[in-house]
Structure formats: structure tokens, C-alpha cells
Structure 1
Amino acid sequence: MSRTSSLTDAAWARIEPLMPVASRRGGRPFQDHRRVVEGIVWRFRTGSPWRDLPAEFGSWQTAWKRHRRFSGDGTWDRIFAEILADADAAGEIDWAVSVDSTVNRAHQHATNLSRGTQGASSSYKNLREEPPDHAIGRSRGGLSTKIHHLVDGRGRPLVVLVGPGQAGDAPMFPVLMDHLRVARRGPGRPRTRPTRVRGDKAYSSRAIRTHLRERGIVAVIPEPSDQQGHRARRGSRGGRPVSYDVEDYKGRNVVERGFNEDKQWRGLATRYDKLALTYRGGAVLRAITLWLKRLGDTP
């Protein structure tokens, strides 16, 4: 493949039937889907400005508008859901999942919109709703944004969300779990319950442990020292010590490796997009390409 090629013929053959035919019922049909999608992938992979898109991908305005449309109308999410269903049918999803987030610096070009004060978790009642703060917040390193992942046992994304960089991880956990739905090929409801969840100490809370226990999901989450001390001071009222499988917890590193793969796309490692909608759209598109690679459709 050349430096500007993004998708193999096999990968495009899997995606093409899932692309929308026209922008609306009775509207003009979309043209050159493959060229435009490969241009969008190229832009996020290189982190280049949209205006610097090579001419072989066509008009940069077309690429931008189509990515904005597909991020907002759910096209990328529908394609991602279909790829996950194919992966589950092929037995490629390891349901011992891990959860974490990564903080990415927001470039100055992404931060010149006014931001509200609403928190991240309330922004994801609808995945395709633009949050008031545009998922940008001020953390120790400056203005930043977070990508939150729920990944399978091999580190491939199952749920992708974004939020402001200073927001905590624990409040996003139930939101991530609520959006875990993998359709089955054939009869049966979508799968929403993993066998176990691996998380670091940021996810150690009574609410999260209760949520997992009530659903019959094994929690592989260590307890931080301050919680241990608080429980010990309460004596018998503090409850039992938290136990978890130390060996199994070592498998949590797959989510860190998954973020390393995400950040091979420079447009995700640094956020240049003003809208959380389009930045998340790029992260979902990256997840699609990672699963296509897993399914043998990309090199």
C-alpha cells in the first residue's frame, strides 16, 4: 500500500454495504465513498489540517462535511456495531473486558469555541449530542480531552466515548457499561454483560462494585490505600476487605496497549477538532480499522 492508501479491497468490501446511499430520502446519492473515507482516515492518521488533504482524495470540504455528517447521523456507530457483531459471530471478542481512559492535549485550534460547565457523563444520554463543554477541560497539562475505552480481552475497543480532560473516570463507568451492546448474528438479544471487568484503582468504588456484583460480573479492581484505611477505621461496619485476582489483573495492560495503537493516529493523540462529535467520530473510525485488522481485512 502507498503512504496515502488507507483501506484494502477486503476492508472496503466489508464497509461499503453499510455506507448510506444518499444524504436523505430522495436526495442526491453520495459519490466516491471510498475515496472520501480514505481521505478521512488519512487526515486522522497524519493529524494534518483538513485543507492540506491531498488532491487525490478530492475536495477537502467534501471530506470534512461527510465526516461531520457521518459522526452526527450515526453512520460510524452503525458500521462499528456491525463490525462488532461480525467479530462476535467469529468468536473474536474476549469478554473479559478492561476499562480506562487516556488524556490527550487539545490544540489551540480545537479550543476557540465557548464551553459550558455541564459534566461529561450527562452529555452521553445520546452519543451523537454535542456536549456544552465540547469535551474539553483544563487539567494539569492545560486544556485537554479524554478518550474513554471499554475494550475486550485483546485490547480492541467495544465502547468509545470522549469527555473533558479533568473529569474523573469512575463517573463515566456506568455510562460506558450502558453503551455496551453487541448484536448477535441470529436469534438472541444483544450481549451487554461481560464475564469480568478489569479496572485500575480509579474505578474502585462501592457503587461500581455493587453494580458489577448485581449483574454477576467479576470485578478485578484493586482497592486504593485510603479506602483500605477508611474501612479499617470503621471496624466491623467497614465491611469485608476487597479481594481480586492479582494474576488476572495483569491482563488489564491490554487497554494501555490499545491506547498506544489509537495514538498512532496523530489526529487522536492531539485533538485538533473543535467539536467533540467529530473527534469522537475519528476515534470510532480508528476502532473500526482496528477490528478490520483483527478480522484480517487490513494489513
Structure 2
Amino acid sequence: MLSERFVINDTQWALMEPHCFGKKGDPGRTGGDSRVFMEAVLWIARTGAPWRDLPAEFGNWNTIFKRFRHWVKADVFKRIFDAVSGDPDMECVMIDGTICKVHRHGQGAKGGLKSQAIGRSRGGITTKILGLTDALGNLVSFRLMPGQVHDLRETAEIIEGISCKMFLADRAFDANWLRETLSVSGIIPVIPPKSNRKFPPEFDNHSYKWRHLIENYFQKLKEFKRIALRACKTDQSFASIIYLAAATINSR
């Protein structure tokens, strides 16, 4: 019997099922039990094991892997994440980045490391996840970057169109252009200034303390060993694993 950590509960499944491929009535071939398939991918994500080590109770590992890649290319996991995440609490948002080491099995994709959001940082071969969470600390969106890239590189894209009262970030995000962008949108930047500023701007230190929620979320994500140690060659596959993990966290 599978541990509850690998099982999708009925409430989660009710939200996920409409977005799965291969249902009865869908065009093309009807797939195997989508719930069992999702739990197989969840088992891989949680344990970090190679696909070949997938327990036989889930079915043929190669068939499941091929189905996973089909869903990856069709952005199914992104749609599932959006469906289960509900309406985020956008009173404030938090942004931060976390580094994930890349296993040798996660290297070797066509186009080289840079084409798959993999780079070299102090930690070796790494990928960075830049995440944006809501006021409750639940993931809203994320971007993948090579590990050595500064968090600010993808910040403009990830915050595009957001509407909230406050924007919480650490001093790595203390940039004039970001403060100006937020102010134009009516968002209060809660960002401690860098020590080299001649005229450091003030910030709400009390509100800033809530930024620990995004750090807590990264810890939850990295309980999935396939995320803590990236073994996916393509950024598409790695992002899909993150979307599935985040979907189970957000819908608990």
C-alpha cells in the first residue's frame, strides 16, 4: 500500500481530473487510469528515483515515462497547478530564489546546459528557481534560470501584471528600477536597502518578517527529492515536476 505522501486525495483529484488527458470522451486513445499515473509521477518526484525503479504496481515504467513527456509538452501539469491553486491571496506577494543542484542524469540535453536553465555557480552545476508566492506563502508562479544568474534577471517578467498592496523581498532585490516599477503600479516595496546606499529608503520591518513564508515554501518543495536534486534533462520536464509538487502543496 502506498504512503499517503504519494496519494492524491479525493478533493485534489476532483480538481485535477478535468484537466487530464486520455479521459473517456476525449479525442484519440483513452489512457490508463489517470489518477494512478499522476501518483506514479508523484512517487518519482517525492523519492527522486530513476524512472526504471518505478514500482510495478504503477504499470510499465517506460509507458508511464512516455505519457509523462506527452503531458509535459502539452502543458497539462501547468493547467492542473492553476486549477487546484484557486484564488491566491494577493494582499501582498513575496519573491525569492533557491538553488537546486543538478544530478549528472539531468545534464546532456541538446543545446547544452544554458538552453535548459542550468549553469555553474558556487554550488557546482545548478538551476535556480525564482518563485513568487501570495500572502499565505503559496506559490503563484516561478521561473527557471541557470544557477549563477542574479534573481533580478527574471523579476520584471514574473511580476508583470500583478496587483497587490505590498511586495516583500530581501535586499538582493533592492534596485531602483524595481522600486519605481512597483510604485507606478501603486505597490509598496518592502525591501531592505543595501548597505552601500547613501540615502537608504525606509521599509516596513514588521511586514518584512512575513517573508519567511516563501522560504518555508521552498523547504516544502525540496522535500520532493526530484526537485532538491534535479535529474530532468529538460527545463520543461523539471518545471512540470515543480508544478505537480506545488499543486499537491497548494491544495492541502
Pairing of 1:243-254 with structure 2 (within 5 A): 243-254=202-213
Task: Please give the per-residue CA displacement for 1:10-51, whole angstroms capped at 9, x wherever unaligned.
Answer: 2212211221236xx742122211111100000010000001
- SS of 1:30's partner is coil
Taking the aligned partners of 1:3 and 1:82, their CA distance within structure 2 comes to: 24
Q: Which runs of 5+ in 2 are unaligned?
A: none
Whether 1:195 and 2:165 are equivalent positions in the alignment is yes
Amino acid at match of 1:261: K
Amino acid at match of 1:2: L
| Residue number among 214, 228, 231 corresponding to 1:269 in the alignment | 228
Taking the aligned partners of 1:71 and 1:157, their CA distance within structure 2 comes to: 19
Amino acid at match of 2:155: F
| Residue number among 100, 105, 110 corresponding to 1:109 in the alignment | 105
- SS of 1:225's partner is coil
What is the Cα deviation at residue 160 of structure 1?
2.2
Amino acid at match of 1:3: S
Gap change, CA 1:26 and 1:82, over 3 Å in 2: closer
In structure 2, the partner of 1:291 is 250
Amino acid at match of 1:95: E
Taking the aligned partners of 1:82 and 1:113, their CA distance within structure 2 comes to: 30
Amino acid at match of 2:15: R
Taking the aligned partners of 1:289 and 1:170, their CA distance within structure 2 comes to: 28
Say whether the 8 Å CA contact 1:36–1:62 is kept in structure 2: no
Whether 1:17 and 2:6 are equivalent positions in the alignment is no
Whether 1:224 and 2:194 are equivalent positions in the alignment is yes
Taking the aligned partners of 1:74 and 1:273, their CA distance within structure 2 comes to: 16
In structure 2, the partner of 1:41 is 42
What is the Cα deviation at residue 291 of structure 1?
1.3
Amino acid at match of 1:101: G
Using structure 1 for the length normalisation, give the TM-score.
0.78
Whether 1:141 and 2:123 are equivalent positions in the alignment is yes
In structure 1, the partner of 2:57 is 56
Pairing of 1:139-178 with structure 2 (within 5 A): 139-178=121-160
Say whether the 8 Å CA contact 1:43–1:49 is kept in structure 2: yes
Taking the aligned partners of 1:83 and 1:8, their CA distance within structure 2 comes to: 12
Taking the aligned partners of 1:116 and 1:109, their CA distance within structure 2 comes to: 13
Amino acid at match of 2:163: R
Taking the aligned partners of 1:11 and 1:195, their CA distance within structure 2 comes to: 30
Taking the aligned partners of 2:70 and 2:148, their CA distance within structure 1 comes to: 28
Runs of 4 or more consecutive aligned structure 1 residues displaced over 6 Å after TM superposition = none
Taking the aligned partners of 2:67 and 2:190, their CA distance within structure 1 comes to: 41
Taking the aligned partners of 1:66 and 1:243, their CA distance within structure 2 comes to: 52
In structure 1, the partner of 2:2 is 2
What is the Cα deviation at residue 114 of structure 1?
5.0
- SS of 1:162's partner is strand
The size of the alignment, in residue pairs, is 251
Say whether the 8 Å CA contact 1:107–1:272 is kept in structure 2: yes
- SS of 1:149's partner is strand
What is the Cα deviation at residue 116 of structure 1?
4.9
In structure 1, the partner of 2:95 is 99
Using structure 2 for the length normalisation, give the TM-score.
0.92
Amino-acid identity (%): 33
- SS of 2:116's partner is coil
- SS of 1:80's partner is helix
Say whether the 8 Å CA contact 1:196–1:218 is kept in structure 2: yes
Taking the aligned partners of 1:60 and 1:13, their CA distance within structure 2 comes to: 25
Taking the aligned partners of 2:229 and 2:45, their CA distance within structure 1 comes to: 10
Deviates more, 1:242-251 or 1:2-11: 2-11
Q: Which runs of 5+ in 1 are unaligned?
A: 118-131, 181-191, 233-239, 294-299
- SS of 1:154's partner is coil
- SS of 1:133's partner is helix
Gap change, CA 1:114 and 1:17, over 3 Å in 2: closer
